Structure 1
């Protein structure tokens, strides 16, 4: 390991040496907020000829607020500094002589009189940006997501798709990493994002070719959620309330769905203290139906058994949490951040289905037996989360910084799946009751040390991180009455313990040379995984040592055009659900289990993009490629003639290449349009080991998705927003997921002199044969076929109220679940 670190440091030393070169005629400066004294990133700085008023040269400030403009001819110029939401500053009589390098004093910008949200309405350019390492989108442009969760926001982005079951894909990959305010969250994406209220989100960043300073987790890249917190000096309050109207469609479900919620963010700030408190509660039930058709073949008995089903599939869901954060700036060199989080999430999924079982002769199709029964299936999941985090940052005299951070989490996870098989249609006699109760507590912590120093015209960043998480699951199984003759059910109950240790070091250098921005880095990681099972005397061990290189380049041709290229190596680790081999009776027809020897997925990401800015908007397009080793697949096999076994296994390889584009248009002052599209070709091939049986998969097809959003300001106080999300059919290892369509609309009225608003939403719009908000999942093999159409509630009507007392801007980092929610 020491040799690799030495080589890594030598590599970056050579980069630094090659970038140290004197530049003639330059101006360097630092831009910050005049009240918070925080650096302003992406401020525009222009050198202007005072006679012609033409722009001679310019730059954007970096994350530390620093800008550098080189190769300026001798003369006298104006320097113009501007950023959306702030007053523009102009410095006069900037004189440049031969070989002169000017270091300006700190440039402080004042907040403008017009609120930032008002600026966003009038200029679509403010709603998105494309930088060297990320795409950034403002959540405020997606009004139809108000009252929902982060999932309702991100599904509008060109790289992101969400299917009917709530599974999220980034550029076709289900695995990606979630950051909240830049802090890594080792959780299942759908779980964490479903708990973040859309109203509290400021921006979403898509980091599709992450640099070495980020954890390499997530084969699709990173989604960073930036929440709305912090304020100028004094007190600020932001509150939202949401209520749902009665369902417009009847699905003949057992219960009426309840939909209501609220979230409040309060903040107090003075010169040294910045305190934030966020509380939220959300109840968001969903009605729906499920139509299934399944058959299995027994070639030895020469029979085929069909068991189609029909009935209710609904969800009761609620969650609440309290987050608090305290930022204490002892002086200009030392800052402390403390955070605490308490939360609970509950979900009950009901699948009450009527099964019509029949067994026929495989040759003649003559019916040998028939049986109809009712299966009531209720799966509950609950989680209680407690987290604490601490960050300390020290700034040295040479403007370098040292940051240490620690996070600890404990999550108490528990639940049960109950299957009742009853007579039909009377539903009076219970033939069989099966229960799968479980407890699955998890604890984990993360320690980080990061150092950043300015060298030449760039920045060198290095760091070390240690991660650990432990999970101790106990899984029960009872069946009543016991089958006759008695069978051994020990394989369905037991304990599964998982322990992960990860050590990592990284270093990267970023800088700018004339029109070229660049960042290159290398990360080394040593990981250990141990799975201990009560059903196996031998522990399942996995150790791996890997290098994760990354590089990004951005070349600016002029003010209107730039191009970027990026590469990043990533890993998708296996979660504990995928590793747990103890079967769970998911449905009457399904057993689900994992594999303790499952391998992590490794992926190479590469992209090439072009960005264009014009008078009426922006446009970008990106070609990308993913090469995936050990792709994890959830596949089916026959357990017995009426039960399918759903298992996780590795395929050998998959590859994906595609084209992504996005355009923002502002054709009229009262109109803002957004359009995003993504088309890719996905191929998976190799052998699948399904519980010891080997089968070969070779499946490929084209997939595309479309997202469109339009905002129309009808007058000063009224606006209309409409959007649509569409995903085409997608191939899987054993079949296909059908297309998925979701249109939405909202009307918003501003009240209380701009401090409040009332919004009416129409979600999951469905007319005639649109078949909105439903998706068919189909898989098949040599001896089985299964297809299920999930029909989710449509024409959902919601009413939202928002109130903003004083202005909120992002500042503190409130804690979010680090380990526990991925196992929820």
Structure 2
């Protein structure tokens, strides 16, 4: 019995000892040494005196932390927070049942954060360099939750019209780079799949040097994406949801708007790994008003077919991205990238037509009919890309880089064109069905060598490009009709492009003068094979592309620059495909397999001025374009127009652009860009074998403005405006296009979390915003169409950042898309 009592007593004493031994604690508060503000979400580690980690915790919103139920012993605290210097506490001797309060601990901002603090509210939003302009992407709050297009359209020389067509200095052709890598895909497809939240900077390379591909008559746009800035994990996540427009167009269904994206980066030692994914659903409601007439001189008749009705879009895309960089040692580094995504678009046009045929001389009515046209056009694309890069640095500091890129785009879709009786739309007059498949494969291999020679740098390289298209197009008409040229509406169109190029350029600096001069040679071969034509359509080109850029420093804050480069605007597969598609009841779309590329001379002369409160630049530029590619109309039948691609003889653009970033006071910043140019197109125009002479020119201007008001340390209000004036085309004019936006932003958790309310396409019932009229005419036709898109749309965007994302991530990028999409 005594033995049992002894055991029980011993056990109770043990429990008391353990309980008392784990009843000690350590607590404190972390603060910023500069402003004495608490630091939230900082890491605090509890270490033994031999640096063994015992426990860890995160500071609360007031900067406090606490470790409970500790055993007696000697401890050290380690304080860690991104952007601050790590700090260790003195040894803490913790006795039995003792509570230690280390008080207020101040952390010193690291050098990177000190630089950021210095420019808080005065971040550099734009930079001008010898051959390019660079803009911070996150300065445009209206783009949050959107795509790269929503960022891009705010830049001084860039405009986006109602059809989503992007132009730079008035030219729709430009090369897209993602983190310095070229892409074949049309800009609209590439940029629509890149979340705006993943972008760090956008660079406009308006006078590209010889090391870049010469593609793009307006130059190059380089998209720089984010990656982790510090060792360890960084995370960025965004979510967005929106309501239907406040204006009702009586569409069949309400648009859906929601999406999100996430980017995760891990950097440690020799590895830097990034993964990301996004999903975006962004439908658009709208309305269409059209008026068309054609003249038949043989029958002495005029046929009018005005129409109006719904024109809406269902659109979504999703993608996953992966990149990994491995720095084996100081002389060797490897990087791989992978991208896989899908894009879908369905355009519905339900239009009521009122057709009349009258005598051309007297105007007397011959016949009239009313019918309902339901037109559904679906386009889809599955995109897969992979790239591998290897860079070796030699003992003399020269370097050799080898790059391989593979891309596949599985493009497919169809157009369902139904002409129905009215008002009894259950009865079908005619049903035309155009399905197609158009897979594209592309390869690219590059070798680039860089070596320092004298006071400058010599860069040389070789590139091989190869891509193929295998298009299959079909055409079904119900009920069947006797159409003499029906065989031309179905078949295959196979295209092959092969390009070999070499370049060399030298850059350096002499006193106040910086320079880059180079030359690129290219041999290109193009073949188009058509199922109904036994003779291949071939084009072989051998060309030189010189370039020269100069930058002179007149004084501190004042620079002048000049540049020249020769460019080429290549034909894409959509423009080359001659198999017609019944896109609408009133239109046929087709290309030309013998279409020529455009050759462009770019020249510019500019000034750059920086001062305490901001910066200003202005540039005069000139484009001389040979064989400009145009989409023009001709009459196919009394109620059908042919829309075809052809070459005009020449075009010229002369203009001036200017931009400024100002911050007069800490709570207000202003960004403004203006572009004014004269566009002239003239010469012979061949439309399906018929020649005509055109001459059209006009002055065009665009204004992009962005202003931000910092209401409190955590509240900000921003407004921005995109305006594009009337523009001349080969056969007519496109009307002006206006987009005003506003956003209200609230930040939480020391800026790591934010909520933004966006008001897009502000109109307030004035019928001025987000609408565009397109008008063309010829000897025997006239057509004008007013596209009216939804206004006053509200969206809510949420963003979260764990640690900081910056710099560029070598994610792969697409070379196929909207030109084919």
Q: Alpha carbons of 1:183 and 1:545: their partners in 2 closer, same or farther (altered >3 Å)?
A: same
Structure 2 residue matching 1:191: 3-state secondary structure? helix
1:469 aligns with 2:467: yes
Q: Distance in 2 between matches of 1:86 and 1:733?
A: 59
Residues 434-449 of structure 1 mapped to structure 2, 5 A cutoff: 434-449=432-447
Q: Distance in 2 between matches of 1:336 and 1:135?
A: 29
Q: Distance in 2 between matches of 1:780 and 1:86?
A: 65
The match for 2:740 among 734, 740, 743 is 743
Q: Distance in 2 between matches of 1:328 and 1:511?
A: 30
Cα shift at 1:455: 1.3
On the 8 A contact 1:327/1:812 being kept in 2, the answer is: no
The match for 2:724 among 723, 727, 740 is 727
Aligned to 2:196: 198
Cα shift at 1:245: 1.7
Cα shift at 1:486: 6.0
Q: Distance in 2 between matches of 1:153 and 1:539?
A: 42
Aligned to 1:432: 430
Provide Cα deviations, 1:568-615, integer angstroms capped at 9, x if missing partner: 000000000000000000100000100000000000000000011122
The match for 1:788 among 766, 777, 785 is 785
Provide Cα deviations, 1:71-115, integer angstroms capped at 9, x if missing partner: xxxxxxxxxxxxxx999xxxxxxxxxxxxxxxxxxxxx9642358
Q: Distance in 1 between matches of 2:284 and 2:485?
A: 38
1:275 aligns with 2:252: no
Q: Distance in 2 between matches of 1:376 and 1:158?
A: 39
Residues 532-611 of structure 1 mapped to structure 2, 5 A cutoff: 532-611=529-608
The match for 1:642 among 639, 643, 652 is 639
Provide Cα deviations, 1:722-748, integer angstroms capped at 9, x if missing partner: 000111100000000001000000000
Provide Cα deviations, 1:22-52, integer angstroms capped at 9, x if missing partner: xxxxxxxxxxxxxxxxxxxxxxxxxxxxxxx
Aligned to 2:704: 707
Cα shift at 1:819: 3.2
Q: Distance in 2 between matches of 1:670 and 1:152?
A: 25
Q: Distance in 1 between matches of 2:512 and 2:763?
A: 49
Structure 2 residue matching 1:815: 3-state secondary structure? coil
Q: Alpha carbons of 1:120 and 1:196: their partners in 2 closer, same or farther (altered >3 Å)?
A: farther
Structure 2 residue matching 1:440: 3-state secondary structure? strand
Cα shift at 1:119: 6.3
Q: Alpha carbons of 1:192 and 1:120: their partners in 2 closer, same or farther (altered >3 Å)?
A: farther
Q: Distance in 2 between matches of 1:626 and 1:305?
A: 40
Aligned to 1:693: 690
On the 8 A contact 2:503/2:521 being kept in 1, the answer is: yes
Provide Cα deviations, 1:283-302, integer angstroms capped at 9, x if missing partner: 00000000000000011111
Structure 1 unmatched runs, 5+: 1-84, 88-108
Structure 2 residue matching 1:113: 3-state secondary structure? helix
Q: Distance in 2 between matches of 1:649 and 1:203?
A: 36
On the 8 A contact 1:450/1:463 being kept in 2, the answer is: yes
Q: Distance in 1 between matches of 2:817 and 2:735?
A: 31
1:122 aligns with 2:94: no
Aligned to 2:44: none
Cα shift at 1:820: 4.8
Superposition CA RMSD, Å: 1.4
1:387 aligns with 2:385: yes
TM-score with structure 1 length normalisation? 0.86
Aligned to 2:501: 504
Structure 1 stretches of 4+ moved >6 Å: none
Q: Distance in 1 between matches of 2:235 and 2:755?
A: 17
On the 8 A contact 1:348/1:381 being kept in 2, the answer is: yes
Q: Distance in 2 between matches of 1:420 and 1:114?
A: 65
The match for 1:375 among 352, 357, 373 is 373
Aligned to 2:674: 677
Aligned to 1:454: 452
The structure having more radius of gyration, on CA atoms, is 2
1:752 aligns with 2:749: yes
Q: Distance in 1 between matches of 2:588 and 2:819?
A: 21
Q: Distance in 1 between matches of 2:143 and 2:114?
A: 25
The match for 2:768 among 760, 766, 771 is 771
Q: Alpha carbons of 1:788 and 1:191: their partners in 2 closer, same or farther (altered >3 Å)?
A: same
1:423 aligns with 2:421: yes
Q: Distance in 1 between matches of 2:244 and 2:283?
A: 12
On the 8 A contact 1:552/1:564 being kept in 2, the answer is: yes
Q: Distance in 2 between matches of 1:290 and 1:696?
A: 31
On the 8 A contact 1:120/1:127 being kept in 2, the answer is: no
Q: Distance in 2 between matches of 1:419 and 1:490?
A: 19
The match for 1:238 among 236, 239, 253 is 236
Cα shift at 1:184: 0.3
On the 8 A contact 1:409/1:820 being kept in 2, the answer is: no
On the 8 A contact 1:315/1:348 being kept in 2, the answer is: yes
Aligned to 2:112: 112
Q: Distance in 1 between matches of 2:820 and 2:798?
A: 33
On the 8 A contact 1:706/1:727 being kept in 2, the answer is: yes
Cα shift at 1:502: 0.1
Count of aligned pairs between the two proteins: 716
On the 8 A contact 2:186/2:817 being kept in 1, the answer is: no
Q: Distance in 2 between matches of 1:728 and 1:583?
A: 32
On the 8 A contact 2:152/2:202 being kept in 1, the answer is: yes
Q: Distance in 1 between matches of 2:809 and 2:735?
A: 42
Aligned to 1:819: 816
On the 8 A contact 2:764/2:792 being kept in 1, the answer is: no
TM-score with structure 2 length normalisation? 0.86
The match for 2:248 among 223, 247, 250 is 250
Structure 2 residue matching 1:211: 3-state secondary structure? coil
Cα shift at 1:223: 0.5
Q: Distance in 2 between matches of 1:115 and 1:318?
A: 40
On the 8 A contact 1:496/1:534 being kept in 2, the answer is: yes
Aligned to 2:180: 182
Structure 2 residue matching 1:220: 3-state secondary structure? coil
1:718 aligns with 2:715: yes
